[in-house]
Amino acid sequence: MGQNSPAAGKTWWERQRTGLSKVVAVLMFSVVALTQSRWELQHEDVATFLYSAGLALAAIGAAGRIWCSFFISGRKDGQLVTEGPYSISRNPLYVFSGIGMLGVGLTTETLTYPLLFLLIFGLYYPGIMGREERRLEELFGDAYRTYRQRVPRFWPQPRLYREPASWSSNPRLFRRHILSDIWFVWIAAIIELVEGFRNMGWLPHLVQLW
């Protein structure tokens, strides 16, 4: 549902949410860049597994968001989308964002960051989903209330899946969404690059975490 709600009627916080999220992401990445994994120092095989699992989840998160974007590109204000990923969850964008955040956390080769990211996600996004649900109910009325009764808010129910034989999408908007949807994979790659800089002594190790 994330990209399916209009800007009209948004609070100041909602309008600034994207920019503020980017600022927080930069600050958190700066801390991550100065962190060394204790697993890497003492159990390299565990560190390798954490990074590999994280990269796989980051890729799933990115691919899932692209899938969602295909269905809602060009339908932001005028249509309640209930097909494809939106047939199994009312907030599939946030589902895949959660998966991507978990993946990015694991690519730090620690358990501390993925747990921290999941905690932030659990505290932050339920309120956003609630506000968007109220707006969609105002926009679509009974159609949205029926959809809400049938489809779970977050956890996907694959048995509900349905998709049309064909679907049109706005290519310009879809292209823009792709560039933002794959940031999970970009961050995972940058984290690995930063680790290489640390190993070469170009960046300091200020924090060590499990």
For 41-100, how does the pLDDT look when each residue is reduced to its tens digit (9 = 90+)?
A: 788 889 899 999 999 999 999 999 999 999 988 776 678 999 999 999 999 999 999 999
Is 31 part of any domain? Answer: no
How many Å apart are CA 204 and CA 40, to the nearest integer?
A: 16
DSSP at 81: -
pLDDT in tens, 127-156: 889 988 998 999 999 999 999 999 999 999
SS3 210: coil
Strands (E), the chain: 35-37, 207-209
Is 188 part of any domain? Answer: yes
Amino acid 20: pLDDT: 60
Residue 132 vs residues 26, 93, 157: alpha-carbon distances, Å: 26, 13, 20
Is 8 part of any domain? Answer: no
Is 106 part of any domain? Answer: yes
pTM (predicted TM-score): 0.83
Is 10 part of any domain? Answer: no
Residue 54 maps to which CATH number? Answer: 1.20.120
How many Å apart are CA 95 and CA 101, to the nearest integer?
A: 10
Is 64 part of any domain? Answer: yes
* Domain span at 176: 36-200
How many Å apart are CA 157 and CA 1, to the nearest integer?
A: 15
Is 52 part of any domain? Answer: yes
DSSP at 35: E
Whether pLDDT at 23 is above 70:
no
What percent of the chain has a predicted confidence (pLDDT) above 70? 83
Amino acid 64: pLDDT: 96
Based on the structure, what is the number of domains in the chain?
1
Q: Mean pLDDT score of the chain, rounded to an integer? A: 83
Is 116 part of any domain? Answer: yes
DSSP at 207: E
